[in-house]
Structure 1
Amino acid sequence: MPTNEEQIRTLIERWAGAVHRGALGTVLADHDEDIVMFDVPPPYDGVRGLDAYRQTWPPFFRWQAQGASFEIEELEITAGDEVAFAYALLRCGTPADLAAAPDNRLRLTLGLRKRAGRWVVTHEHHSFPSVDSTADPAGTGDAAAAAAEQEVRQLHERWFAGTAAKDLDALMAAIADDVVSYEHEQPLRYAGVQAVREVCAAGLDAAGDGAVSWAVPDLTILVDGDLAVAWGLNHVQVRPAGGPAVDSWSRGTRVFARRDGAWLMVHQHLSYPYDPASGAARTDLQP
């Protein structure tokens, strides 16, 4: 029977190979339900729980698909009977990243424990060493852009969860005080966080006792330094208690600025297409 160290080495090498291939199921397979990951991008208090961990990977896989490497170079393991830890150095970057900084490595620490006789990862910590910011003052490298895209995508995921929970504070958490929003409703613009808060509150109240959800299935994000733009079709569904679901699709563009290390929405533009023959907004369209 393989030793504990051999079992853990196989687990970690299988995980790293799955990350490189973008095989999400295998990436998740040997992770505990209550995993805590300290990742390169925020949130700064860590990614907590397997569902949150799952959501971090699709943006990374899109970046990985550009031809980036994710390869273990060094791996050391110390294992007891029930608890173990491992640390590793990995080549992680696009060909351009690695050409620009050939010695840079992703640093990885893992904590593991046994569950029902098998090893599972309960903690991950990923980091790159800090480099001279004058070499890339805006953080515009491919890896930095991928990390920033992931941060903005996770911000949207928190908004979606806040909508389902009807948690107004969660919806407002990443809105800048000086936001300007072009909403579906008149007037022409809403200026300031309080005005946007009132619009969001009215939307949640309109759902009454029913369930409400919001998603952007085709969410696209572009990042350059401390600015990001996201766009896609908003899908809002209200499910009244005892009644059929009501779906609404509209267009949305959002602009974010990174201030003091945190992404905040500074502008939003929502709209429905209009029928030029009647001048009426087409709120019934679906993709």
Structure 2
Amino acid sequence: MPIRGRLATAAAAAIAGLVKAIGLTMLAVTLLVVAAPSVTEASADEAHASADERAIRDAVDQWIVALNAMLNGDPEPFADIYSHADDAYYMGAEGTYRVGWDAIYADWQAQAAKSTGGTVTAIDVHVMVSGDMAMAAHITRGQVRTPDGSMNENDVRETSVFRKKDGEWRMVGHHADGIPYWEEAFDQ
């Protein structure tokens, strides 16, 4: 092949490579442009969440902070997020049922005194707000140290009820149940 032909072939190959690279770049840009609205939509949905919904999500975050403190011996953070009202209630995953702030806090103090460490996180948080009442449901996933020192991994279903009073949301009810119990009960 004459030199001019080889140069033309090389130039054509270079141009084809450039077109391919540009094509891939354009494909990537197109994918970003197409995908961007879904990211933007999620952000817009989050931006449209009411201030009350955001406040309840923040309260769930504070609940998890309080649980982690209790698992490490400190029940005090519960006092900041839970209502101190006589009609507040707590139904713990271990089977307790307490009504009134004094009984609830005494339960948490006893749990904290027995706690030997652990960490939890909330996943799949679902929030509903209606007027001055709200609820949040989620799974609390964690690792809790047992008295023998081993770590127990578990998931707990939790539902919390909140009441807005004087512009502040406080937890007035909480129910938790351990998922493994129900799995074992119905697998038999």
Give the drift of 1:195. 1.5
* Structure 1, gaps ≥5 residues long: 1-19, 24-60, 69-142, 279-287
The reply on whether 1:222 has 2:131 as its aligned counterpart is: no
* CA distance in 1: counterparts of 2:51 and 2:43, whole angstroms: 9
Higher helix share: 2
Describe the shift of the 1:257–1:237 C-alpha distance in structure 2 as closer, same or farther (beyond 3 A): same
Compared with structure 1, are the counterparts of its residues 271 and 164 closer, same or farther at alpha carbon in structure 2 (3 Å cutoff)? closer
The answer to whether residue 99 in structure 2 is matched with residue 181 in structure 1 is: no
Whole-angstrom distance in 2 between the partners of 1:171 and 1:224: 24
2:63 corresponding residue in structure 1:
159
AA paired with 2:52?
Answer: A
Say whether the 8 Å CA contact 1:63–1:146 is kept in structure 2.
no
TM-score, normalising length: structure 1: 0.43
Give the gaps of 5 or more residues in structure 2: 1-36
Equivalent-residue separation in structure 2 for 1:232 and 1:250 (angstroms)? 8
State yes or no: 1:205 paired with 2:113.
yes
Question: Greater Rg, structure 1 or structure 2?
Answer: 2
Identity value in percent: 23
The CA deviation string for residues 26-71 of structure 1, in whole angstroms up to 9 with x for no partner, is xxxxxxxxxxxxxxxxxxxxxxxxxxxxxxxxxxx856137x7xxx
Equivalent runs, 1:1-287 vs 2, <5 Å: 62=42, 64-65=44-45, 143=48, 146-166=50-70, 167-176=74-83, 177=85, 178-186=87-95, 189-208=97-116, 211-239=117-145, 243-272=149-178, 273-274=181-182, 275-276=185-186
So what's the TM-score if we normalise by structure 2?
A: 0.62
Q: Which has the higher strand share?
A: 1
Between 1 and 2, higher relative CO (CA 8 Å, sep ≥ 6) is seen in: 2
Q: Between Structure 1 and Structure 2, how many residues are aligned?
A: 143
Contact 2:60 2:136 in 1 (8 A): no
Distance 1:212 1:204, change over 3 A: farther
RMSD over aligned Cα atoms: 3.1
Instruction: Give the C-alpha shift of residue 258 in structure 1.
Output: 0.4
How far apart are residue 224 of structure 1 and its match?
A: 1.9
CA 1:165–1:268: 2 relative to 1, 3 Å: closer
